[in-house]
Structure 1
Amino acid sequence: MIKVEDLHKSFEDLEVLKGVNTVFEKGKTNLIIGQSGSGKTVFLKCLLGLFIPDKGTILYNGKAYQNFSKNEKRELSKQMGMVFQGGALFDSMTVEENVVFPLKMFTEMTKGEMKNRVEEVLDRVNLIDTNDKFPSEISGGMQKRVSIARAIVNKPNFLFCDEPNSGLDPRTASVIDNLIQEITHENDITTVINTHDMNSVFEIGENIVYLENGLKAWEGNKDTIYKTDNQKLTDFVYASNLFQKVRISQREGL
């Protein structure tokens, strides 16, 4: 679980986060949504420890980050998996080399143990017999699955995803969404997803935080978002055809 209390972050005279309070629950897919400039990327980077907040507290499983020692911060980083927007795979490395990379960095596993763990996670993301392929030799959807495999190879307690469906067709995006949710449930991970994809919101949004001008303007889930009386949130998601269909079906009792 990650608890955020009164989080503030500014860059020179620009205040980006203005006192965010929320809880990202363990074993659930927690989504951060909001328009461009709402602060969601800065928020995610604060959660990752890439930005230090000016004020406020982030607690990981009940302990405040500012109270962590250097060793504890290093251990926390080992417990974090990250799925980057563009995949961020190493082009010069094979699929297997990409996935094993965190194990070489953060563990003292033997080569045999690493090999077994890589095979395990590649099997979990349905990538069989791709070990020796390079990223350029596989599809965009497969590259995202490699990125997920790499993110979970260390069995993280926290999984962060930045626009994981970026550049994918709707069907492939749905596969990625469901894979992330399944892995979250299976491993009881605290998963936080930064997304603008409304299909993701309605498919896997078990907890949704809507940021507006650096503040949490709404919080709920995929079953309650269509009932919101927040007009800006309605306007934000109404551009999605799926959202329109949901509202129509709910209104007509379908």
Structure 2
Amino acid sequence: MIKVDNIKKRFGEEEILKGISTVFHKGKTNLIIGQSGSGKTVMLKCLLGLFKPEEGLIYYEEKAIQHMNEEQQRDLREEIGMLFQGGALFDSMNIEENVMFPLRMFTKQKKSEMLDRVNEVLSRVNLEGVNKKYPAEISGGMQKRVSIARAIVNRPKYLFCDEPNSGLDPKTATVIDNLIQEITHEFDITTVVVTHDMNSVMEIGENIVFLKNGVLVWQGNNTDIFNTDNVDVTDFVYSSDLFKKIREIQLKER
């Protein structure tokens, strides 16, 4: 569980986050959505400790990042998995080496132990037998699954995903969404996904935080979002072609 308590973040005179408070639940896919410039990425970087809020606290379980010493912050980083927007695989490393990288960084395991774990997570994302291939030799969807394997290889308690479906076709994006949700439930991870993809909202939005101009204006799940009368949310949601069609069907059924 991650708790955000009244965080505010400024750059110069511009206040980007304006007192946001919320909770991201363990064992659920927590989504942060909103228009460009709403503060999604800044909030993600605050959660990761890359940006320090001017006000407010961010708690991992019961401990605020701001109150952690250097050793505690290092320990926390070892409990975090990150799925980057572009995958961020190392082109010069094969798949096995890419997935093993966090184990080399954060553990003192033997090579055989690391390899066993690499094969375990590659199997979990349905990518057996690709160990010696390089990122350029596999598809974009496969690259994203490799990135997921790397993100979970250290058995993280927290998983952060930044636009995980960026550049993927709808069918592959759904596969990635479902895989993220399955892993979240299976390993009881606190997963936070920043996305603009309304298909993701519909597929895996178990806890959705909607930001507008740095303010949290609505929170609910993928069922609630269809029924809300919050104008900011409905304007955003029904600007999607997919949701326009869903809305038309709903109105016809009434």
TM-score (norm 1): 0.98
Q: CA deviation at 1:63?
A: 1.2
Q: What SS does structure 1 have at the residue aligned with 2:154?
A: coil
How many residue pairs were aligned? 254
AA partner of residue 163 (structure 1): E
Contact 1:226 1:246 in 2 (8 A): no
Aligned residue for 2:174, secondary structure, equals helix
> Greater CA deviation, 240-249 or 84-93?
240-249
TM-score of the pair, normalised by structure 2? 0.98
Kindly state the Cα deviation for residue 248 of structure 1 after the two structures are TM-superposed.
3.1
Matched residue, 1:34: 34
Instruction: Find the residue that maps to 1:32 and give its secondary structure.
Output: strand
Query: Cα offset for 1:67?
Result: 1.4
Q: Specify the code of the residue in structure 1 equivalent to 2:17.
A: L
Q: Tell me the equivalent position of 2:205.
A: 205
* Equivalent residue number for residue 20 of structure 1: 20
Deviation at 1:253, TM superposition (A): 4.1
Offset of residue 232 of structure 1: 2.1
Question: 2: CA distance between counterparts of 1:230 and 1:113?
Answer: 51
Contact kept in structure 2, 1:94 and 1:134, CA below 8 Å: yes
Q: How far apart, in 2, do the equivalents of 1:245 and 1:121 lie?
A: 38
Partner residue in 2 for 1:196:
196
Identity among equivalent positions (%) equals 67
- 2:227 corresponding residue in structure 1: 227
Aligned twin of 2:50: 50
Asked whether the 8 Å contact 1:10–1:16 carries over to 2, the reply is yes
The question of whether the paired residues in 1 share the 8 Å contact of 2:58 and 2:65 is answered with yes
In 2, distance between residues paired with 1:29 and 1:156? 14
Q: Which residue of 2 aligns with 1:180?
A: 180
Amino acid aligned to 1:85: Q
Contact 1:28-1:190 at 8 Å conserved across structures = yes
Tell me the equivalent position of 1:68: 68
- Work out the CA distance in 2 between the residues paired with 1:250 and 1:156: 40
3-state SS of paired residue (1:77): helix
Tell whether the 8 Å contact from 2:238 to 2:247 is kept in structure 1 after alignment.
Answer: no
Unmatched segments (≥5 aa) in structure 1: none
Q: Which residues in structure 2 correspond to 1:93-108 (within 5 Å)?
A: 93-108=93-108
Per-residue deviation, 1:238: 1.0
Counterpart AA for 2:190: T
Three-state SS of the structure 1 residue aligned to 2:26 is: coil
The whole-number CA distance in structure 2 between the counterparts of 1:18 and 1:80 is: 26
- Unpaired runs of at least 5, structure 2: none
- 1:157, 1:189 within 8 Å by CA — same for their partners in 2? yes
AA aligned to 2:63 is: K
**Alignment partner, residue 149 of structure 1:** 149
**1-structure distance, mates of 2:176, 2:121:** 15
Does the 8 Å CA contact 2:6/2:20 hold for their aligned counterparts?
yes
Q: Aligned partners of 2:130 and 2:253: how far apart in 1? A: 46
C-alpha deviation, 1:65, in angstroms: 1.1
**CA offsets per residue over residues 133-181 of structure 1, 9 Å max, x none?**
0000000000000000000000000000000000000000000000000
Cross-structure match for 1:126: 126
